[in-house]
Amino acid sequence: MTYDPVLLANIDKKDSHTLPVYQSGGGYRGLRRALEDMSPADVVELVKQSGLRGRGGAGFPTGAKWSFLPKNHPGPVYFCVNADESEPGTFVNRVQMELDPHQVLEGTIISCYATGASTAYIYLRHEYPLARRRMQAAVGECYAAGLLGENILGGGFSLDVHIHVGAGAYVCGEETGLIESIEGRRAWPRIKPPYPAVEGLFRKPTVVNNVETLACVKQIVDRGADWFRSMGTPPDPNDPRDPGSFGPKLFGLSGHVNRPGCYEAPLGITVRRLIDEYGGGVWKGRRAKAAIVGGLSTGLVTEAEFDTPLDFSAPIRAGCLGLGTGGVIVLDETYSMIDFLHNSCRFFAHESCGQCTPCREGTQWALEMLERIRAGRGRLRDLDLLREIGETIGIMPGTTICGLADGAAWPIKTALGKFREEFEGYVKEPTTV
């Protein structure tokens, strides 16, 4: 491990969450430089050049997303910081907000300057009380120091930041569900288009970005686009749609591993290196059976696929949804795939908001079948029915409004696709696993 963390560089300092400690390490110098020496368009261009892709799950290019805002809009433009972080296996945003809230805020202020947003909402999940207190205190410190409010640092730019505590559902993290929730309604995702950049919060142009994405923006303004592009995976020459995967990434490593935790590494580190070098290997001297690559919704790679690089493309080639949030969950050789899939189906059936029939019914059917299989009453044809559900629910097959249903489908598709024998064995002889 020769990589020196950047996003996590401050977290071991005493009182790392306070403004004086953050500033003693050079904090807010990047903001000052951006306000003094760069136009908003310069910041957008810099972020585009860096190749930054959103860290919230979909990997959408951040600079391109900002460019979708209508030009010369009379305003207001809103900015939403997605700190809902409810994907199972994902906890890196919590670490950032608890231990380095000013890095997140500096990235937010710079991003609002770039996009012309005058108000930012930090949508923070209810279950993160320490993160909430630290973010709120950091916002207070910024107002007192002239880093928020009217005429920030005398540069003519003004911004208000509000913390909005989430209502406690996974779907609140879906960007239009989040917007509905801030507006005071149930977090039912909206049909798109229109996309938030055109019609978002309070029907005004809106940007939604993840906490880690914004921390990356701060680092890009400090260190430059070339620094950011110096690490990661270049575009695949055989795939004209692959813009590459650049920069540092936070990985939440959990499950059956000796040292679970939040680790920073360049994009492209393999699943195996993350588990062995950062996580100290599989626990109890056991072998791994599989791992979730990037939060539950992305699905599984088998132990034989652990040399898969954790970038935005390789997990797709390994049969998964994508890199997702980078939440890697290790499953050891003793863990039952039936239990894994049962847990997964319980989660998604519980979290479906119910608007779309394929998601509302499909996640429930899948759960009922898993319950039946687990109780020893499964039929072989249930496995095919499960596959069928996995292949037909979701925004990608075009049957649902949001990606929650796709997230429910990938654990089903990968578990059944890669561990079919175990499922068949259990159906035929329920006590053997």
Ligand X SMILES: Cc1cc2nc3c(=O)[nH]c(=O)nc-3n(C[C@H](O)[C@H](O)[C@H](O)COP(=O)(O)O)c2cc1C
Q: Would you tell me which residues interact with ligand X (CB under 6 A)?
A: 54-58, 60, 82, 84-87, 170-171, 173-175, 208-210, 213, 402-404, 407
Q: Which is nearer to ligand X, 171 or 275 (CB)?
A: 171
Shortest distance (Å) from residue 363 CB to ligand SF4: 8
Smallest separation, CB 42 to ligand SF4 (Å): 37
Strand partners, 29: none
Residue 98 CB-half CA count within 13 A: 13
Question: 274 or 359, CB closer to ligand SF4?
Answer: 359
Q: Residue 276 gets which letter from DSSP? A: I
Q: String of b and e for 45-60 (b: at least 16 CB within 10 Å)?
A: bbbbebbbbbbbbbbe
Q: Which does 359 bind (CB under 5 to 8 A by kind): ligand X, ligand SF4, none?
A: ligand SF4
Between 397 and 417, name the residue whose CB sits nearer to ligand SF4: 397
How distant, in Å, are the alpha carbons of 337, 346, 421 from that of 341?
6, 8, 14
354 binds, among ligand X, ligand SF4, none (CB under 5 to 8 A by kind): ligand SF4
Minimum Å distance from CB 79 to ligand SF4? 23
Residue 170's binding partner out of ligand X, ligand SF4, none, with CB under 5 to 8 Å set by partner kind: ligand X
Closest separation between CB of residue 192 and ligand SF4, Å? 11
In this structure, the strands spanning 206-210 and 232-233 are unpaired
Cα→Cα distances 7→133, 232, 237, 248, Å: 21, 15, 29, 8
Smallest gap from Cβ 329 to ligand SF4, in A, equals 22
* N residues, the chain: 433
Q: Which does 279 bind (CB under 5 to 8 A by kind): ligand X, ligand SF4, none?
A: none
Q: Residue 282 and residue 256: Cα distance in Å, rounded?
A: 6
Pick from 363, 319, 320: which is nearest to 342 by CA?
A: 363
Residue 16 binds which entry of ligand SF4, ligand X, none, CB below 5-8 Å type-dependent: none
245 binds, among ligand X, ligand SF4, none (CB under 5 to 8 A by kind): none
276 with 328: CB under 8 angstroms? Answer: no
User: Which positions ≥6 away from 24 have C-beta within 8 Å?
Assistant: none
What does each C-alpha distance from 349 to 79, 345, 368, 409, 415 come to in angstroms? 30, 6, 10, 11, 17
Residues lying near ligand SF4 in the complex (CB under 6 A): 171, 189, 352-356, 359-360, 400-402, 404-405
Say if CB 84 and CB 93 are below 8 A apart.
no
Return the one option of ligand SF4, ligand X, none that residue 338 interacts with (CB less than 5 to 8 A, by type): none
Closest distance between ligand SF4 and the C-beta of residue 359, in Å?
A: 3
Output the smallest distance, CB 383 to ligand SF4, in A: 23
Residue nearest to ligand SF4 (CB): 359
- Which residue, 156 or 193, is less far from ligand X as judged by CB? 193
